[in-house]
Amino acid sequence: MLAQSARKITGRADQIFSALETNPMFEILPITIRIALDAGALMMLRDSADRTIVATARVHGLRLLTSDQRIIDSKLVSVID
């Protein structure tokens, strides 16, 4: 979606994901049942993608790097802002 939008991301989605998948600095985490259940409970965040990202960080005990003020203000997850 980002590659097709007006944002400054160039390249085909499959190329972008392939580059991320082979980069040892990144780990693509699957959406598990625990993450899906947690995301479904985070109704204070309107955006379903935000809920999924926050739930993934929570389930894996990760700090989330974000500038999204709604996520920061929610205090649902530890953030690096």
Region 7-24: mean pLDDT is: 78
pTM: 0.77
29, 30, 50: which is closest to 40 by C-alpha? 50
Sign of the C-alpha dihedral computed for residues 43, 47, 51 and 54 taken in this order? negative
Bigger pLDDT: 10 vs 65 = 65
